[in-house]
Chains A and B, each alone.
Chain A
Amino acid sequence: MSYITGVGLTAFGRHDGSSTLDLMSTAAEAALADAGLARRDIDGFLCGYSTTMPHIMLATVFAEHFGITPSYAHAIQVGGATGMAMAMLAHTLVDAGVAKHILVVGGENRLSGQSRDASIQALAQVGHPTYEVPLGPTIPAYYGLVASRYMHEYGVTEEDLAEFAVLMRAHAITHPGAQFHDAITVADVMASKPIAKPLKLLDCCPVSDGGAAFVVSREPTGEIGIRVRGAAQAHTHQHVTAAPALAKLGAEIAIARAKHASGIAISDVRYAAVYDSFTITLAMLLEDLGLAGRGQAAAQVRAGHFGQHGAMPLNTHGGLLSYGHCGVGGAMAHLVETHLQMTGRAENRQVRDASVALLHGDGGVLSSHVSMFLERVR
């Protein structure tokens, strides 16, 4: 058993002059304060990677910088799924008695720490070095291919995908830390610059500076316990060329395993935090996870189902699409927001009931998946 006892999140966007370690430290400090813990209480530490600060031992670099001497520490790399994979690992380690309080941190000056081209170039390297990268693709190109096939098989339209960008923006407007606060419409998304057909600029998440952190503990440190009920993963491929057919992607496998591990059904879920690097990613994952019928997710967005006051509030901070995406910390913001909702601290964004939450992370090109269920206990 384990509990998420504290969370910390910086604003996302541009933090000129802040390094990876600065952003990680700010988020870590906030998470410790939120958990009511001091540095000396932390006996486990996990972090991800930073494209602006590549290092073979980032965890101990950070531990030294921040001033902790954990008995267990290392970094892990699962692309966009890193945050949720760390949450699962921290849960597993705490459950196994390896550590009492594990600090988990992600942060990067991905926007201001390098040129846009360098960022795009670094990320495109998830492609196959021999069979894909020489063709000059970008991450949006990989997802553009996926989108074209998904639209072809399930009759999803570009206007359908645009609904997800509009929803995430509407949520971001209510969060002061979000990168974008200008309202957008489906027409704005449709008119935005083509990036990788059928994906346009507003179908894509931005590059951001930011940091996020949380603490996973053996016992609650406050009055409300946010318990990890269970988590699971699935890894079906790395390169999109080698991806299985749409019906056999990893999200469906991971969620089936997580349901089994936790004993929780989708009908129990009251709040959803789902990876949204592109509009197509969110549409597909909602349907793969069973949060919407196949080809039906956009219609449910239009019906208000995934809004703050809908039946299944989703990414109420604005998600990667509009809160922003700073790499590893990007999807950790989903967990931070989930914690705030579950503990009734989401202020103007507060939903009516977030007693049981489903979180899902995706890395690569729908390559690596992590599903997790959280439950509020008193």
Chain B
Amino acid sequence: MSAIKPVADWTTGTEAISYQACSSCQSPQYFRRAFCAACGAPDPVDRIASGQGTVYAASLVLRAATAEGFRMMAHGAHDLVIGDQVRARYARFTGRLVPYFERTSS
């Protein structure tokens, strides 16, 4: 299997959240791979997420269901609660760019 090319998103220092969509079964996946983990088809397509989502769980970090239907872990405002509609901005954490979600409505 060939090495997967890096994508411009927060994990590589760009203000964006990327995900992949399978061109065969349409499943979205957040962790980048050279194949679809749901059906095994090669070369899922890179997409940039809208940055909008719903809070799924909240602790010192938060895990959200995004508008595109994948779940991710990120930083967020201290007052977020489960079910909040949120939008991503970006912040610096230990010198690195990380997504930071704030409420757009509840």
Contact = CB atoms under 8 A, between A and B. Distances in A.
Contacts of A128: 31
A197 B73 contact: no
B94 interface: yes
Nearest to B59: A144
Interface size class of chain B, counting residues whose CB lies under 8 Å from the partner chain: 20 to 34
A137 B30 CA distance: 18
Contact of B73 (A138, A196, A198, A241): A241
Interface stretch (A48-56, A146-154, A259-267): A146-154
A131 B72 contact: yes
A43 interface: no
Contacts of A146: 57
B56 A137 contact: no
Contacts of B32: 130
Contacts of A131: 11, 30-31, 72-73
B58 A197 contact: yes
Main secondary structure on B side of the interface with A: strand
A130 B11 contact: yes
Given A136-B93, A241-B63, A148 B11 contact: no
A219 interface: no
Given A134-B11, A134-B93, A144 B73 contact: no
A149 B57 contact: yes
A242 B74 contact: no
Contact of B57 (A136, A137, A145, A199): A145
A30 interface: no
Contacts of B72: 131, 241
A149 B94 contact: no
B71 interface: yes
Contacts of A198: 59
A128 B63 CA distance: 13
Interface in A89-141: 128, 130-132, 134-138, 141
A126 to B, nearest CB: 13
A174 B10 CA distance: 51
Interface residues of A, number: 25
B82 interface: yes
Given A131-B31, A131-B73, A132-B73, A145 B82 contact: no
A147 B31 contact: no
Contacts of B30: 131, 241-242
Contacts of B58: 145, 148, 197
B87 interface: no
Nearest to A134: B96
B98 A135 contact: yes
A109 to B, nearest CB: 28
A340 interface: no
Nearest to A153: B82
A196 B62 CA distance: 11
A135 B59 CA distance: 12
A292 interface: no
A149 B56 contact: yes
A311 interface: no
A240 interface: yes
Given A128-B31, A240-B63, A241-B30, A135 B57 contact: no
Interface string B61-81: 111000000011111000000
A132 B82 CA distance: 19
B98 A141 contact: no
Nearest to A133: B73
Contact of B62 (A134, A145, A152): A145
30 contacts: A130-B11, A130-B31, A131-B30, A131-B31, A132-B73, A134-B98, A135-B61, A135-B73, A136-B93, A136-B94, A141-B61, A145-B58, A145-B59, A145-B61, A145-B62, A145-B63, A147-B59, A148-B59, A148-B82, A149-B56, A149-B57, A152-B82, A196-B60, A197-B60, A239-B31, A240-B73, A241-B30, A241-B31, A242-B31, A242-B71
Interface of A: 128, 130-132, 134-138, 141, 144-149, 152, 196-199, 239-242
Interface of B: 11, 30-32, 56-63, 71-75, 82, 93-94, 96, 98
Given A137-B60, A146-B57, A149-B57, 8 more contacts: A131-B11, A134-B11, A134-B98, A135-B75, A137-B73, A145-B57, A197-B59, A242-B71
Closest 5 CB pairs of A and B: A144-B59, A149-B57, A145-B57, A148-B57, A152-B82
